[in-house]
Amino acid sequence: MRKLLLLTLVLGIVLVSSGCGTAYRPQQGALIGAALGAWAGQDIGHNTEGTLIGAAVGGVAGAVIGDAVRQYENQNAYQTYPYNYPYNPKLQYNPNQAPQRRQ
């Protein structure tokens, strides 16, 4: 029963945090990674130490993955503008038509 309650709590946190539109990708990844790491640490170690280690490792891994996703999205958002949909390989990319990157 306790394991089911913990699983429900972790999945609820993951679902709520994945819908956050205002959070940055690294923060969002850290939150999801820490929740999943804490759940995995508790499931493997069955003690508080395992839970804390899993949360720390998951949080760091989630932040790194979230930052990589953010960088990928930023790079690709400007390379395909303004011909995202539908993709037409005959049209050449014109950097003068693309918006300027924000600093």
Position 62 scores a pLDDT of: 92
Q: How many CA atoms, within 13 angstroms, populate the side-chain half-sphere of residue 92?
A: 3
Position 78 scores a pLDDT of: 57
* Torsion, Cα of 41, 36, 28, 16 (10° steps): -130
Position 64 scores a pLDDT of: 93
87, containing H or E segment = none
- Which residues of the chain have a pLDDT value below 70? 15-23, 77-95, 97-103
Q: How far is CA 36 from the centre of its chain?
A: 12
pTM for this predicted structure: 0.55
Contacts of 95 (CB under 8 A, 6+ apart): none
Cα 87 to Cα 64: distance, rounded to the nearest angstrom = 31
